Amino acid sequence: MATEAHGAEGGGLVFHPMDQFIVKPLFGGDAIGLFTITNVTLWMGIAIVAIVALMVLGTARRATIPTRTQSVAELAYVFVYKMVEDVAGKDAVGFFPYVMTLFMFIVFANFLGLLPMSFTTTSHFAVTVVLALLVFLTVTIVGFAKNGAKFLGLFWVKSAPLPLRPVLAIIELISYFVRPVSHSIRLAGNVMAGHAVIKVFAGFAAIATISPVSVLAITAMYGLEVLVAFIQAYVFTILTCVYLKDALHPSH
Amino acid sequence: MATETHAADAAQGASAPGMPQLDFSNWGNQIFWLMITLVVIYFVLSRIALPRIAAVLAERQGTISNDIATAEELKAKAVDAEAAYNQALADARSEAQRIIAEAKAEIKADLAQATADADAQIAVKAAEGEKKIAEIRAGALEAVQAVAADTAAEIVAAMGGKADEKAIGTAVANRMKG
């Protein structure tokens, strides 16, 4: 916000919609080493604290008649558990804690990113690529470990006519390796784009005549972003379940 | 645009315009903290939160099915109690009928007894009366016989005859019989 205000005071409109995504060391200095404590560290830490508050402290009383916080925690549990069970199959419930970890991290990172002045960790490809690669590697390793060479049947479409099969195999192979790319870019792209658009509207708010429209637009975008924050977490999780299903039951 | 500025980004640091996401100099840092975050969340969830929530949900399911079972049991008990109540009511009713019938029979018997007693007494009294009447009648006949004999003797005497007491007595007796 501050940057936009500065820009407006300086005369013309200056947009820095991407400045919100800059990784900065928290305790001075410019260099970012591997272990430097940055705003990434801070907001991931806040995400951990929030998840612990909801899932551990919220359920501390183990009440049969749940409190509101415990209800939300149970809701999240049942939501993801049903998703894993329904989409990936009953034998995939062993992956439930793993899928739950991904879902909770993404949903909390997305919603924490909607706080003004916050830093959105899931808007960074570094984060989403790692998440997507984790899923990709898990799926590939589990697929081969559970099914051996039969896992390759995923690329050999038996229901297609024989001459088409090699072509389809190439397409399937490409689509398999594109999965982590789309998986990661979808999440980071959606989050980043929404936040950037809000910043652009915020820049326009410096012009008195446009500012009411701008504020309305920011409000509308914010509402959309609230939806996107949840939907992208949901999409990421359900795709993880779909890929897990491929790993456990590779037949088409 | 992003790919063009990326090289410059990497060279100048994060403050340059463009996409900070493509500033690969800080990827290591982000990935390092992300892995720590994911590991922490994974352990917190899988060791504490998820088993606890699973236990709570299972317990709630158990409580609900227990409560339903208890409710069904209570309902069955209520039905039993109603049946027992109806049974008791029917028993009481038939008992009352029986007592009423018994009392009626007893009263009837008493009444019959009393009637019989009274009849017997009446019969005794009647017999006594008849006896007395017979006595009186017998007395009266004797008196009539004596008076008749006397009268006959007097009449005989008055007519100037001599009354033979024996003959008169026999004659009177004969007349009385006839």
ipTM value, please give it.
0.87
Report in angstroms the alpha-carbon separations of A5 from A1, A141, A205: 7, 50, 9
pLDDT over 90, % of chain B:
60
Residues of chain B neighbouring A233 (CB-CB closer than 8 A): none
Which residue(s) pair with A38 in the sheet? A25
Q: Nearest CB to B52: which of A32, A59, A192?
A: A59
Residue A129 lies in a domain: yes
Residue A113 lies in a domain: yes
Q: Nearest CB to A74: which of B27, B45, B53?
A: B53
Residue A28 lies in a domain: yes
Residue A4 lies in a domain: no
Which range of residues forms the domain containing residue A221?
16-248
- pLDDT-derived band at A97, boundaries 50, 70, 90: very high
- Please tell me the total count of domains within chain A: 1
Closest by alpha carbon to A184, among A123, A119, A114? Answer: A123
Query: What digits encode the pLDDT tens for the residues A29-75?
Result: 778 888 888 999 999 999 999 999 999 999 998 888 899 999 999 99
| Vertex A179 angle, CA A178 and A182, to 5° | 85
Residue A3 lies in a domain: no
CA of A53 vs chain B CAs: smallest distance (Å): 10
CA of B51 vs chain A CAs: smallest distance (Å): 10
CA of A172 vs chain B CAs: smallest distance (Å): 28
Q: Nearest CB to B42: which of A38, A62, A97?
A: A97
More confident call, A252 vs A165: A165
Residue A8 lies in a domain: no
Helices A68-83 and A211-248: crossing angle in degrees, nearest 10, is 50
Residue A64 lies in a domain: yes
Query: What digits encode the pLDDT tens for the residues A209-236?
Result: 888 999 999 999 999 999 999 999 999 9
pLDDT at A1: 41
